[in-house]
Structure 1
Amino acid sequence: MFSYLKRLISNSELNLISYAEYIEAVLYHPELGYYMKHKQKIGSQGDFITTSNISDIYGKIIAKWFANVCKENDLEPIFCEIGAGNGRFSHAFLQEWEDSIKTPLKYIIVESSPYHLSLQNELLKPAYTVTQVTRLDELEAFEGMVFSNELFDAMPVHVIEKVNGQLYEVMVGMKNETLYEENVPLTNSSIYTFLEESGLVLKDKQRIEVPLLMEGMVQDISLVLKRGLVVTADYGYTKEDWKQPSRIKGSLRGYYQHQMIHDVLEHPGEMDITTHIHFDWLIQKGKQAELLFHSKLRQDEFLLKAGILKELENHYDPNPFSEVSKRNRAIRSLIMPSGMSSFFHIVIQQKGIKGNLFIE
């Protein structure tokens, strides 16, 4: 990876590349990128944990909720998951659908990583019929639901900083085999457009990530969804959140063997890199692409509205290692105010849907 980055930087105009180019290289290079390599990334032996890898209950709840949404809105049961990782969520969803819903379902996975595609095949086939594609534009337009869990937070972003009243883009260079940052005056017109449209005004010495690729992804999702819902599970901030003093350094960070790494230039190609997403921008770009905003809920609030408490089994089981006890603990961990779900939000956007999404 260092040799590739060295070539990339030396071939650039200023011997500097943007953070977006750096993140694209270290995460998504076809052979060397973190997400593309045959290496475990999720779970106790990986670098990070996702909600669907804590418990299968997450996928099961989404399956039941989606079935109700289809029934209430006369919606075709076509479920499209973007970035399915190791397939744990898909497996839980499909298992629940087969066990309790038992109506025809088309399940689509959009996955660019060959390694994750192979893991999904091992886990899901031949028990379940799944359509796998590597890009959204390979799909014919459909009605149903487009779901993603921690998709946008892994997309390459530009990084800008305000110093003495002037805006700079933070670039990446290499000297003596060491990566470093260098500020250059901001000239990217797309970033200026983002700042103007989002209404974000940086304070002096404030740094922030700019998700220019988000708009294209939102448009691609809208093009493929004729009617239905877009459900985005991710962590992020609103415009008001970004104003808080604690956000002055932005949110770009890495995860390496379950340790948070503040310097994302460390471990290139061996570490997950992530940011908090811009919720207001996601909602704004969705509206422009005919994906109307329905709601933004903390993940624990969403799970409660989706009926997770119905899954708790009331009878006492003295064995803490029984399946019932483990299931009940998993449910409680997903809805505790201090748990993992309190850091995540679910953004729901709709196209051509007017019926109930939640049955109280």
Structure 2
Amino acid sequence: MISYAEFMELVLYHPEHGYYMKEGQKIGRDGDFYTTSNVSDLYGSMVAKWYREIALQFGIKPEICEIGAGTGRFAQSFINEWQRDCSVPLKYTIVETSPYHRKIQRDKIQFNEQIKQISSLDELEPFEGLLFSNELVDALPVHVIEKQAGALFEVMVSIDGDKLVEVNVPLNNEYILAFMKEQELDLTEGQRIEIPVAMCELISSLSGVLTKGIALMVDYGYTKEEWLEPTHKNGSLRGYYQHQMIANVLQNPGLMDITSHVHFDAFIDYGEKAGFTFIEKLRQDEFFLAIGILKELQDHFDPNPFSEQSKRNRAIRSLIMPTGPSPSFRVVLQHKGLLAFENAWVEAKQK
């Protein structure tokens, strides 16, 4: 019998049989899920323009570390945009655990002394710059907790014949109990919730490598209040296989993506404890509007829907329209040692 966190670690990250570690397309039309940063080159180029201005204005080093780069499309578009309009050399490091995705990235990006690819956060040297992740935290292993008959239980994974089944055991994990008390997660009868111990550990590790700069995390998730809404009574753990949502994540281990919603308040709180300063949490569309995406729109009409101008305009609209994916995602903006940037960001938002 193992915890859900141990189960997820095995089925997602086992060196040979883990979903992310095996060959096979995972992101995009022929995969199991989409990420917004992989849909268009515009995503990476906009963040590059934004960070380039910040680096020049506030004297931050032109360095970026992306944790979990997937297909490498964000990195490729960021690097291309930077090199197109900036003479200052960029240092870009990708931390990618998946051998399959490392291979895909090498097909897109020319790695060298300045543009590096490493397989573990342990290999990352402390740096000053931008720390970026997109849909990383939702894929981290979580513990599953449930309230039954007024008591808290941890939902474990066991084997019954040839099937994987859930087994409830009394919750005695002091770290989880302290987390729930601290985050004011008072479950109702029958409610279950995921507890992100791995997320808390990751935040501490990330703070150890970013000595000064900006942390930009993009993902979907809930606040404390949203977690306790009746509509979220069954938690958020789910699988994705060929773009279909799978409620039972014990099916087909190692063959599908498994995710859970991010605890945003905990992410921010644990970031503060680790040395990050929280600036703002906003919708992804609001973030792109704040960094000037509307300036990229081409005004004059192009009758050719397949022209580069038309495709770019559609990409811009897809990132800011309420019917697009952006309103479902949140951008968490933090910094270390950049109070001047924080003040400038707040002042710009107030104008």
In the alignment, which of 325, 334, 337 is matched to residue 349 of structure 1? 334
2:33 paired residue number = 48
- What TM-score results when the alignment is normalised by the length of structure 2? 0.96
Amino acid at match of 1:173: S
* Contact 1:80–1:107 (Cα < 8 Å) also in 2: yes
CA distances 1:93-132 after superposition (whole Å, capped 9, x unpaired): 0111111233211001111111111111111026995111
1:196 paired residue number = 181
In the alignment, which of 305, 326, 346 is matched to residue 320 of structure 1? 305
What count of residue pairs does the alignment treat as equivalent? 345
After TM superposition, list the pairs within 5 Å mapping 1:166-205 onto structure 2.
166-205=151-190
In the alignment, which of 61, 69, 86 is matched to residue 101 of structure 1? 86
Q: 1:328 to 1:142 in 2, by over 3 A?
A: same
In the alignment, which of 102, 106, 109 is matched to residue 121 of structure 1? 106
C-alpha separation in 2, matches of 1:207 and 1:157: 12
Structure 1, 344-353 or 168-177: larger mean CA deviation: 168-177
2:242 paired residue number = 257
In the alignment, which of 219, 224, 229 is matched to residue 214 of structure 2? 229
1:210 paired residue number = 195
CA distances 1:64-114 after superposition (whole Å, capped 9, x unpaired): 111112122210011000000110110110111111233211001111111
* Contact 1:28–1:35 (Cα < 8 Å) also in 2: yes
Mapped pair 1:66 → 2:42: no
1:290 paired residue number = 275
Amino acid at match of 1:111: E
In the alignment, which of 14, 17, 39 is matched to residue 32 of structure 1? 17
In the alignment, which of 140, 159, 163 is matched to residue 155 of structure 1? 140
In the alignment, which of 118, 122, 139 is matched to residue 133 of structure 1? 118
Following TM superposition, by how much is the alpha carbon of 1:181 offset from its aligned partner in structure 2, in angstroms? 0.9
* Contact 1:253–1:264 (Cα < 8 Å) also in 2: yes
Q: Classify the secondary structure of the residue corresponding to 1:334.
A: helix
Amino acid at match of 2:108: L
Following TM superposition, by how much is the alpha carbon of 1:306 offset from its aligned partner in structure 2, in angstroms? 0.9
Following TM superposition, by how much is the alpha carbon of 1:338 offset from its aligned partner in structure 2, in angstroms? 2.3
C-alpha separation in 2, matches of 1:99 and 1:335: 25
C-alpha separation in 2, matches of 1:171 and 1:69: 46
C-alpha separation in 2, matches of 1:27 and 1:205: 28
1:267 paired residue number = 252
Structure 2 unaligned blocks of 5 or more: none
C-alpha separation in 2, matches of 1:160 and 1:52: 32
Q: Classify the secondary structure of the residue corresponding to 1:179.
A: strand
- What TM-score results when the alignment is normalised by the length of structure 1? 0.93
Following TM superposition, by how much is the alpha carbon of 1:355 offset from its aligned partner in structure 2, in angstroms? 2.1
C-alpha separation in 2, matches of 1:128 and 1:299: 32
Q: Percent identity?
A: 55
1:247 paired residue number = 232
Q: Which runs of 4+ in 1 moved over 3 A?
A: 126-129, 356-360
CA distances 1:196-217 after superposition (whole Å, capped 9, x unpaired): 2212111111100000011111
Mapped pair 1:334 → 2:319: yes
* Contact 1:73–1:354 (Cα < 8 Å) also in 2: no
CA distances 1:170-215 after superposition (whole Å, capped 9, x unpaired): 1111122111111111111111111122121111111000000111
In the alignment, which of 69, 78, 81 is matched to residue 63 of structure 2? 78
Question: CA RMSD for the aligned pairs?
Answer: 1.3
C-alpha separation in 1, matches of 2:326 and 2:113: 28
* Contact 2:90–2:114 (Cα < 8 Å) also in 1: no
Following TM superposition, by how much is the alpha carbon of 1:323 offset from its aligned partner in structure 2, in angstroms? 1.3
Q: Classify the secondary structure of the residue corresponding to 1:355.
A: helix
C-alpha separation in 2, matches of 1:107 and 1:229: 14
